[in-house]
Each structure stands twice: as C-alpha cells, then as structure tokens.
Amino acid sequence: MKKFVLILFLVFVGFSIAFGLSIVKPQVGYEVVLIDRPLFFGKGGIQPEPVKTDTKVTWRTTEQIHVHMSPYFSYITLEDILSKDGLLLHTNIYVNLKIKDSVRMISKFGKDGYDWFEEDFKPKVIVPLVHNAISRFNAMEIRDHLKIISDEIKNELTSYVKKNELPIELVYFYIHSIILPRELENQLIETRIQQAKLETEQKRQKVEEQRLETERKRAEADIAYRDAMHLTNKDFAILKQIDVLQNLCRLNNKCTFLIGRNDIFPIKHSDEED
C-alpha cells in the first residue's frame, strides 16, 4: 500500500514538472476567463467565476481568455448605403459598448468582445439596421434627420441586446456624418448660397419698407400740421427750412439768420466774439 501511494505521489510530481503550473494575473481593465482542459481526469469546462484582480495559480493546461471590460469604442465607415432615391452615401458612425459579463461572453460566443463585435455584431446587426433606416430618406433629406435616424437605430439595438440577453451594454450610438456624392454636395452648397442671398435681400427690402413707411407717416403728419395752421405750401416750406437751420445752428452753438425776401442764410459766429 505504501508503495502504491509512493508511486502515485511520484506520478503527480512528474506530472506537475512535465506540464507545470501557470500564473493568471489580469491586466487593468481586463478579466480572465478560465477554461479547464484536464488531460487525464477531472471535469473540464468554463469556470463560473473570472479572475478579476487577484493573482491565481492554475494548471498549464487551463486555457486563459483575457476579456476587455473597459468601454469599447468603434468608428464605423460605410460606403455603400443607398438612399431612398438610389444614391450611394458615405456614412460615419460612432459606437460605444462594454462587456457586462465576461464568463457569459465566452460561454455564449467563445470569443472576446472585440472579436465578437467586429465579426458578428457589427456586420450582422448594426450594418443592416443602418441600411434600413437610411433607405427611407432621400439623400437631400438625410442630414436634417440624422438625430432621428441615430435615436431610432440606438433604440432598436438596445431592444436587440435585451431580447437576445447579450452580456453587453450599448453606451451610445450615433451617426456622425453623411457624405453626399460630389455633384449633389455642390448642388446643396449652391442652394445654401442662394438661400443666404435671398434672406439678405429680404432683410434689405424689409428695412427699405420700414424707411418708406416712416417717411410716409412723417409726410402725413406735416400735411396735417400745415392744414391745421392754414399755411400755404410756400409758408410751410419756409418753416421746415427754418427748423433745419435751427438744428444746424444748435450743433454749432451760435449763429444768426439773415432773412431776405426769398432766402434765409445762417451765419456762424466765431469763437473770438465770445
């Protein structure tokens, strides 16, 4: 019996030396999912708890999968999005998501979140939703509806994640820009230039109309005053001339009026007469 135990111990030691032990230490922002793969005895499979911060010693045969747990940012460029009127558009999209459960991610998909996103979620879920949402608008309308389109796609992605019980959280999603074909872009720029010119002309016309209205009201007031004072047109013109000259003299502090038969002349006094 002692001999059997000794042999078993030697086998264990030899096994440990041959296959060795492995140290698991996750980097900052990562969790390590362990998959047991015994050679001779024991149960294999994914361990229920990941290694998060502490160091752990395992058999060298235990597989380690490092899962990135920090929010994952992706900038997606799509160059073949068709608008409702059949034009190819260049689309730039921002997506941010993070893994909520590293063990479920590996057990469900067998890969890290980055690989799963690039190989599965982006081409099979995001791209079709973007195609479908943008295809409902004409090219010239899309830029005015970017927020509506982005919010719609984000809501659909959130529903998809919840319905399929994916171990991720969609932090944000929005369409950053839509680049139109060059000829359409030039047409849009020209349209905006014409709109700006039209708005400028409308503002100028409004100012001119206000000026004319002010002059009309002033003229009506002058006529009403002339009629109330029973003045002739000539007498009223002289009064208006005197009023203008008074204003000029007021600016110059001192002046004298020489009133003749036909004309009125103001004479400005020099400062030496003070």
Name the range with the highest mean pLDDT among 11-20, 163-172, 198-207.
Answer: 163-172
Q: How far apart are CA 98 and CA 68, in angstroms?
A: 8
Residues making up the chain, counted from first to last: 274
Rounded CA gap, 32 and 146, in Å?
39
**Could you read off the pLDDT of 28-59 as tens digits, one per residue?**
888 888 888 877 666 778 888 888 888 888 87
Helix or strand holding residue 133 (H, E): helix 127-134
Question: Could you report the per-residue pLDDT of 77-106, keeping only the tens digit for each?
Answer: 998 888 888 888 889 999 999 999 989 988
Q: Is the dihedral of CA 130, 136, 140, 145 positive or negative?
A: negative
Q: Where are the alpha helices (DSSP H) in 171-271?
A: 182-228, 233-251
Reference 82, options 127, 131, 123; nearest CA is 131
- Work out the number of other CB atoms within 10 angstroms of the CB of residue 233: 8
Pick the CATH number of 72-180 from 3.30.1490.190, 1.10.10.10, 3.40.50.720, 3.30.479.30: 3.30.479.30
pLDDT > 90 in the chain, percent: 18
pTM above 0.75, yes or no: no
Given the structure tokens 């110059």, which residue do they identify? 252
139-196: pLDDT as tens digits: 878 888 889 999 999 999 999 999 999 999 999 999 988 887 666 666 666 776 777 7
Name the residue among 29, 71, 70, 64 with its Cα closest to residue 50: 64
Question: Half-sphere exposure (CA, 13 Å, Cβ side) for 22?
Answer: 15
* 200: its two tokens: 């400028």
Domain boundaries, the chain: 2-68, 72-180, 182-222, 231-274
